[in-house]
Structure 1
Amino acid sequence: MTFSFLLFVTRRPTITPAEFKTYWDTKHVELLKLIAGKNFPLTHTRHYIARPGSAETNGSWPAVILAGAQEDFTYYGIAELVFPDESAFQSFMSIVSALEAEARIAEDEEPFIVREKMKAVVMGETSVASRD
């Protein structure tokens, strides 16, 4: 059975949502692949909150909300990392938590995310309904 977790990431206010997405997709994930090697997750899927605003909206880029309030959506991206099993997740975590790797990752995150606001949660069971 696979092991998954969700990561909620907040954009650094000095960059735009487009810059945030580009950095995460093209630089940060590549660094994680380099560091983790064969222990990189089976998948690292990134979802981005719809924020169609612009600099004219005071750089706030409000989320397109269907339920809840703007302040509920401090994060800009949600990543789902899927591993073959919990043991593979533990191997990945031990690699990325090693002092040198952790320092490289933190340095790379500095220009695009607010680390103090990062949240992560382990996924439980999944149920899927589909159109007949």
Structure 2
Amino acid sequence: MQTRAMTFSFLLFITRKPTISPEEFKTYWDTKHVELLKSIAGDNFPLTHTRHYIARPAETNGSWPAAILIGSQDDFTYDGIAELVFPDESAFQTFFGIVSAPEAAAKIAADEETFIVREKMKAVVMGETSVTSRN
């Protein structure tokens, strides 16, 4: 029987500034913002920082509607979902302390102002995960 150590993870729901395209949002988050976080957190950066982007394939009247299967546009006010995974809750607390320190928090906030709507950011701690495979 294989056992796995419990990790600590949380999800971030991020809304891009309406003045930038979904592609500009993705490029900035992937290449600039995550690099800033890595430079601030150093060895305390999460084990993984996975970003998922809502598909918004075509501009329509100055906006990029989500490619919805079920629901409405109003249900998808965010553009990206990030999952940050840490070895344990203590590692998360260390990371959180680093990024919350006044100087680091100011750098992060200034960077976020360039590509997201900070007031719409949401975060939630993940519980257990169940995975079902085809086989």
Deviation of the 1:69 alpha carbon: 1.1
Alpha-carbon shift at residue 59 of structure 1 (Å): 2.1
Q: Deviation of residue 40 (structure 1)?
A: 0.2
Which letter does structure 2 place at the counterpart of 1:60?
A: S
Work out whether 1:31 is the aligned partner of 2:51: no
Give, in whole Å, the separation in 1 of the partners of 2:62 and 2:96: 34
**Within-5 A mapping of 1:1-132:** 1-54=6-59, 57-132=60-135
Task: Give the unaligned 5+ runs of structure 1.
Answer: none
Deviations 1:67-100 (A, max 9, x none): 1111010100000000000000000000000000
Q: Distance in 1 between matches of 2:98 and 2:30?
A: 21
Equivalent residue number for residue 3 of structure 2: none
Q: What TM-score, normalized to structure 2?
A: 0.95
Q: Identity over aligned residues, as a percent?
A: 82
- SS of equivalent residue, structure 1 residue 78: strand
Cα separation, 2, equivalents of 1:66 and 1:122? 26
Paired AA for residue 127 in structure 1: S
Q: State TM-score, norm by structure 1.
A: 0.97
Point out 4+ residue stretches in structure 1 off by more than 2 angstroms.
none
Q: Could you tell me how far apart the structure 2 residues matched to 1:116 and 1:49 are? A: 19
CA distance in structure 1 between the aligned counterparts of 2:69 and 2:123, rounded to whole angstroms: 23
Given residue 87 of structure 2, which amino acid in structure 1 is its aligned partner? P
Following the alignment from structure 2 to structure 1, what is the Cα–Cα distance between the partners of residues 100 and 86? 17
Structure 2 alignment gaps of length 5 or more: 1-5
